[in-house]
Amino acid sequence: MIIKPAKRTESVKEYFFSIKNREMAKLNAERKARGEDPVINLGIGSPDGTPPRAALETVAKTAVLDGVHGYQSYMGLPELRQALADWYARYYGVTLDPSCEIQPLTGSKEGILLISLTFLNAGDKVLVPDPGYPTYTSASQIAEAQVIKYDLVAEKGWTPDFDALEAMDLTGVKMMWTNYPGMPTGAHASKGLYEKIADFGRRHKILIVNDNPYSFIRNDEPLSLLAVPGAKECCLEMNSLSKAHNMAGWRIGMVAGEADYIREILKVKSQMDSGMFKPLQLAAIEALKAGPDWFATLNAEYRRRAVVAGRILDAIGAEYDANSAGLFLFGKIPSPVRNDKVSAILNEAKESGKTAGEVVSNALLYGAGVFLAPGFIFGKNGNDYIRISLCAPVERLEKALEKVKAYLG
């Protein structure tokens, strides 16, 4: 390069899964040359199911029409915003004004950066959960804010320790990220938890941003932070069709909150894109009409998969919560571990400085041809954990189980 990158890029690295995908591509080429099966990737939460039929039919029917291929409104179609408002009213009991309290997004991941750029100045402080989605940290760093981690631990149900938060020096803290059902932990939300979070934000004048894409997955009682009376004053909530409607690659998300917040986000968003492809918006409207039967069928399949995923963790000797929600199981590598091979792997790696989750993940990748995500990428409180995705058919999970068992003896 003839110029140096911006200093803000020094604080972030390439996304872990981007790096790991290249590593697995190289490994798969080597495995193919040896006549071996490709790696079974159980690391990423990309739903493998089919979206609602009505959404597929709508995008197919409308994409061939004249007049749908131009720039679209920065705010999204009024009909899409109304459909999102109806969705929130029907399933969360939350009333949103579609004219000013909802902003469609190109996936909720875009929203994490947009919100950070909209509300954070250099030096502002941001409370980020540990463990939690790595993008909360990287987006804050790109915005040149100071990341302050707050601990989530299994002993407290992976929920914030409000006594510890109150004891912190909150000077300069402007924003706080929350995520329930939690990723990677699978911790459930509750009305009481959301009331505490909203109260904390209101009293300390901290903007709470709740990331809520997993609320329908292996969870029969979807909840919204915005259902807490008065929450819109201090809270934003993001959601998407990626997980609940099997539409991750479609990149259809939203952020909801008080009109003043949405107006400020639109200022930034309108400088960065020109609206979502109209047939996608029309298809999203149809997907959002999915009824309880859709979610019941979806969750019946994920619960079948969770049983087999749990058996993989059992084979490794990892401890996990079978009643967690979301797209993953989060397993702890205990000490001492029950499996002799895993114990030997950990003993050999003591001098490497790597975490237990990373060592076990790499051993399974290269020894069994099965990839599980190491917990350290989600924060220090995930160091002893591995995460297994449920985004694979039962047959593929069973094959992974066979490979893991064979490798571990």
pLDDT over 80 at 26, yes or no? yes
Average pLDDT, the chain: 95
Q: What is residue 145's predicted lDDT score, i.e. its pLDDT?
A: 97
Q: What is residue 197's predicted lDDT score, i.e. its pLDDT?
A: 98
Residues 354 and 285 placed together within one structural domain of the fold:
no
Q: What is residue 353's predicted lDDT score, i.e. its pLDDT?
A: 81
Residues 317 and 298 placed together within one structural domain of the fold:
yes
The rounded percent of the chain whose pLDDT value lies above 90 is 89
pLDDT over 80 at 15, yes or no? yes
Per residue in 27-45, pLDDT (tens digit) is: 999 999 999 999 999 999 9
Residues 322 and 208 placed together within one structural domain of the fold:
no
Residues 278 and 395 placed together within one structural domain of the fold:
no
Q: What is residue 212's predicted lDDT score, i.e. its pLDDT?
A: 98
Is residue 264 in some structural domain?
yes
Q: What is residue 200's predicted lDDT score, i.e. its pLDDT?
A: 98
Instruction: Out of 290, 321, 343, pick the residue that ends a domain.
Output: 290
Is residue 59 in some structural domain?
no
What's the CA gap between 373 and 313, in Å, rounded? 12
User: What confidence category does residue 7 fall into, taking pLDDT thresholds of 50, 70 and 90?
Assistant: confident
HSE, CB side, 13 Å, CA atoms: give it for residue 116: 26
Residue 128 near residue 177, CB atoms below 8 Å: yes
CATH code for the domain of 13: 3.90.1150.10
Per residue in 353-378, pLDDT (tens digit) is: 889 999 999 999 999 999 999 999 99
Classify strands 146-151 and 102-105 as parallel, antiparallel or unpaired: unpaired
Instruction: Out of 290, 309, 336, pick the residue that ends a domain.
Output: 290
Domain of residue 230: give its range: 69-290
pTM for the model stands at 0.95
Residue 252 near residue 104, CB atoms below 8 Å: yes
The rounded percent of the chain whose pLDDT value lies above 70 is 100
pLDDT over 90 at 56, yes or no? yes
Per residue in 283-309, pLDDT (tens digit) is: 999 999 999 999 999 999 999 999 999
What's the CA gap between 280 and 263, in Å, rounded? 23
pLDDT over 90 at 228, yes or no? yes
Residue 54 near residue 61, CB atoms below 8 Å: no
